[in-house]
Structure 1
């Protein structure tokens, strides 16, 4: 059981570091006018989650330990639903209704699409 938690911790630490790097990079590149960092990590994480599940489904990799290390640890720390929720709430409180709606629509719809795309990329290779 300790090995399982260590894998989650290792994946989580790596995902959190990448999340910080991407968020900071987007902030420097595009500014504070819209939560692009959160959107970017959610899109990337959704694509990677689709790829992971496709690889598991095709038995290219085994669910354990990949699902634990990558799915729960790395992608769990990389993607940022709690940050997405707070970003949306702050936009609402600041009266930026269009930006809030855009943030919600993009994070939900684009991320679902990216998860589907990631799965399709793996499933079509045969």
Structure 2
């Protein structure tokens, strides 16, 4: 049960931060480009890498903190950081084909899934 609480607490904080950061950046950009989402995704990657680099290999990372920060907070702030972290791990292990499949597959297939989901949703409600 404690595991769920760590994830939930981190998730609540992460989703609030995403909402705030994305909104502030988007208002500052005053553009049609989704600068808020872009900023959140890049900050998420930086933070995920920073936290993992600082704790995982050197200082130890208690499982509870991993759940709170990486799974809960980062999962709600942006899953893009996890996607990039996993891609970086594939590169690190020399799995270039899998890296390409992961990045290309999620980006291209994800785009078509959004288009398909939008069309399906509109079809259902029409």
For Structure 1 versus Structure 2, the TM-score category normalised by the shorter chain is 0.5 to 0.7
SS in 1 for 2:32: coil
- Equivalent-residue separation in structure 1 for 2:71 and 2:42 (angstroms): 16
Greater RCO structure (CA 8 Å; 6+ sep): 1
Q: Which residue does the alignment assign to 1:16? A: 15
Gaps of 5+ in 2: 81-106, 116-126
- Following TM superposition, by how much is the alpha carbon of 1:5 offset from its aligned partner in structure 2, in angstroms? 0.3
Counterpart contact for 1:41–1:80, Cα < 8 Å: no
SS in 1 for 2:38: helix
Gaps of 5+ in 1: 94-126
Q: Which residue does the alignment assign to 1:56? A: 56
Q: Quick one: structure 1 residues 20 and 12, their matched pair in 2 at CA, closer, same or farther if it must change by over 3 Å?
A: same
- Following TM superposition, by how much is the alpha carbon of 1:36 offset from its aligned partner in structure 2, in angstroms? 0.6
Deviations 1:38-94 (Å, cap 9, x if unpaired)?
A: 111111111111112111211x2424112100000000100154xxx7xx95xxx8x
Q: How high is the TM-score relative to the length of structure 1? A: 0.59
SS in 1 for 2:66: helix
* Superposed counterparts of 1:19-30, under 5 Å: 19-30=18-29
- Equivalent-residue separation in structure 1 for 2:48 and 2:74 (angstroms): 7
- Equivalent-residue separation in structure 2 for 1:25 and 1:14 (angstroms): 17
Q: Which residue does the alignment assign to 1:75? A: 74
Q: Which residue does the alignment assign to 2:45? A: 46
Count of aligned pairs between the two proteins: 83
Cα RMSD for the two superposed structures: 2.0
Q: How high is the TM-score relative to the length of structure 2? A: 0.59
